[in-house]
């Protein structure tokens, strides 16, 4: 495998009010005999943080990358899912169906006429793409694979043959596919049932969806979805989560937007992920301990470290605003909160500024000066206008001595 970094931070654009940085890499793979450009959307402030992030890998760049990046950014910014690294690959010379299994259509009584080169593609994912991402970026063990139509077949095939390569599988426009199989009269539904019967998967999510308009020309999709849920729902437990649905009124590609929202809600239910930090800080124990206990519970359930939201607009449920609230009466607890924020984001000028202010309120002048100066220097390096405020805070601190 030959790696060439094409551009770093080539594209910066605003999605739903927050910056998403896109990096691009070239992978020349012997497994698929092609060079593919990989697009990596990094979470806001990735380069300021020490955090590790889940991976979301998209198999359809043009159709899914921007939409998925935007939705992940929005949901994670409101604490409804973890911040994640979203990855896609540009199309190669070979069409995506070239790497999809050549299934047998039981309703049309014929083969799909796909390339049947799925093993090469899975090897590319396993031995080229994922190791590169894991080497270059701070990632954790939780990986999601998203496919649409032909690439949904690749996702299902990967689940069946390499179930632990990813922890979550999202398959769009796949209600027809699950009723077909590798050979005549075989169905992927039954293959999946056999997989879940014999495998002891620890963290596994499978979400399949089709638009209601697809059922007008393919009414058998409805029966497929019913059979899927009937046969596979029995495996749902604390480790395995399986769901298929039809979203009425949506077409073949229209289903992507509501489907993404439903899929992420399925994997990361807001009733588990959303919490009022004001409730946590009122409990017995320190604010930091209570907040981290909540995220420790999530971490244990999902198998990767989860983190509090550092900064949110119009919400007290973030480190910045709950720390400011504590600073009014519990300056030592505010210091703990802001210290944790700087552990997660050591070069954030905002985190260092609030820690400096908390030290000032706690009458720790030297520490206050140290972190206010850090905030000022980081802000200057970013050409941030906040540097003026930080400089004024430093001057005010000198006057208090």
127-178 per-position pLDDT tens digit: 999 999 999 999 999 999 999 999 999 999 999 999 999 999 999 999 999 9
d(CA 298, CA 291): 11
Q: Is 174 found in the same domain as 312? A: no
CATH number, position 296: 1.25.40.10
Q: Do 255 and 325 fall within a single domain?
A: no
Closest CA to 121 of 69, 164, 162: 162
CA–CA gap between residue 212 and residue 192 (Å, rounded)? 23
Average pLDDT over residues 223-228: 98
Confidence tier at 399 by pLDDT (50, 70, 90): confident
Same domain, yes or no, for 196 and 338? no
- Is the predicted pLDDT of residue 12 greater than 70, yes or no? no
Q: What is the pLDDT of residue 400?
A: 79
- Residue 164: how many CB atoms within 10 A of its CB? 13
- Least-confidence region, from 62-66, 189-193, 304-308: 62-66
The residue from 272, 307, 339 where one domain ends is 272
Give the model's pLDDT for residue 401. Answer: 62
Within this chain, do residues 262 and 279 fall inside the same structural domain, yes or no?
no
Judge if 72 and 206 occupy the same domain: yes
Q: Is the predicted pLDDT of residue 61 greater than 90, yes or no? A: no
Grade residue 398 by pLDDT with cuts at 50, 70 and 90: confident
pLDDT at 1 over 50: no
Q: How far is the C-alpha of 40 from the C-alpha of 9, rounded, in Å?
A: 10
- Predicted TM-score (pTM) above 0.85: yes
Would you call 372 helix, strand, or coil by DSSP? helix
115-118-119-121 Cα dihedral, nearest 10 degrees: 110
* 140: phi then psi, degrees, rounded to nearest 5: -105, -165
Residue that terminates a domain, selected from 255, 272, 289 = 272
Question: Are 292 and 365 members of one domain?
Answer: yes
Q: Which pLDDT tens digit goes with each residue over 76-125?
A: 999 999 999 999 998 888 777 899 999 999 999 999 999 999 999 999 99
Which CATH number is 72's domain given? 3.40.50.1820
- 85 and 190 in a single domain? The answer is yes
User: Are residues 86 and 19 both part of a single domain?
Assistant: yes
| Residue with token string 């009425």 | 248
Co-location of 265 and 287 in the same domain: no
Q: Are residues 248 and 312 in the same domain?
A: no
Q: Give the residue from 45, 263, 300 showing the smallest Cα distance to 148.
A: 263
CA angle at 129 for the pair 125 and 131, rounded to the nearest 5°: 105
Dist. CA 382–CA 401, nearest whole Å:
30
Over residues 319-331, the mean pLDDT reads 92
CB 25 within 8 A of CB 40: yes
Q: Is residue 47 within 8 Å of residue 3, measured between CB atoms?
A: no
pLDDT at 200 over 60: yes
- Two structure tokens written together for 65: 């990358």
| pLDDT given for residue 94 in this prediction | 78
Is the domain of 163 the same as that of 188?
Answer: yes
Last residue of a domain, which of 251, 272, 293?
Answer: 272
Compute and round to an integer the Cα radius of gyration of the chain.
Answer: 24
What residue numbers bound the domain in which 332 lies? 275-400
For the chain, what is the domain count? 2
The secondary element (H helix, E strand) that includes residue 88 is strand 85-89
Mean pLDDT of 293-298: 97
Closest C-alpha to 125, from 55, 42, 206, 204: 55
Identify whether residues 105 and 204 lie together within a single domain.
Answer: yes
Would you say 322 and 277 are in contact if contact means Cβ atoms under 8 Å apart?
yes
């Amino acid at each position: 495998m030959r790696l060439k970094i094409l551009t770093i931070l080539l594209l910066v654009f605003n999605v739903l009010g927050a910056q998403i940085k896109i990096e691009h890499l070239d992978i020349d793979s012997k497994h698929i005999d092609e060079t593919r450009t990989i697009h990596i959307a990094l979470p806001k402030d990735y380069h300021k943080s020490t955090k590790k992030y889940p991976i979301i890998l998209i198999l359809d760049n043009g159709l899914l990358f921007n939409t998925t990046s935007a939705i992940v950014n929005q949901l994670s910014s409101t604490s409804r899912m973890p911040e994640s690294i979203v990855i896609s690959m540009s199309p190669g010379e070979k069409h995506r169906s070239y790497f999809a299994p050549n299934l047998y259509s039981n309703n049309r009584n014929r083969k799909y006429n796909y390339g049947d080169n799925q093993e090469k593609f899975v090897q590319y994912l396993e031995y080229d793409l994922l190791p590169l991402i894991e080497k270059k970026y701070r990632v954790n063990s939780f990986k999601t694979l998203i496919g649409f139509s032909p690439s949904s077949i690749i996702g299902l095939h990967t689940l069946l043959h390499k179930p632990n390569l990813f922890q979550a599988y999202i398959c769009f426009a796949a209600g027809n596919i699950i009723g077909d199989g590798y050979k005549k009269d075989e169905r992927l539904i039954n293959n999946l049932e056999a997989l879940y019967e014999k495998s002891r998967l620890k963290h596994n999510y499978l979400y399949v969806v089709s638009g209601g308009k697809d059922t007008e020309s393919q009414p058998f999709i409805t029966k497929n979805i019913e059979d899927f849920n009937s046969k596979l729902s029995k495996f749902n437990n604390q480790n395995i989560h399986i769901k298929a649905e039809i979203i009425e009124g949506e077409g073949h590609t229209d289903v992507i937007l509501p489907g993404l929202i439903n899929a992420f809600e399925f994997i990361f239910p807001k009733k588990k992920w959303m919490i009022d930090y004001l409730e946590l800080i009122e409990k017995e124990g320190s604010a930091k301990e209570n907040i981290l206990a909540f995220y420790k519970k999530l971490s244990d359930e999902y198998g990767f470290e989860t983190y509090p939201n550092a900064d949110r607009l119009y919400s007290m449920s973030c480190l910045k605003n709950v720390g400011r609230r504590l600073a009014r009466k519990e300056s030592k607890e505010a210091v703990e909160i802001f210290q944790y924020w700087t552990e997660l984001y050591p070069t954030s000028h905002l985190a260092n500024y609030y820690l400096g202010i908390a030290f000032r309120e706690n009458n720790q002048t030297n520490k206050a000066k140290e972190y206010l100066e850090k905030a000022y220097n980081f802000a200057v390096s970013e050409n941030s206008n906040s540097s003026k405020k930080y400089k004024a805070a430093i001057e005010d601190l000198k006057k208090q001595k």
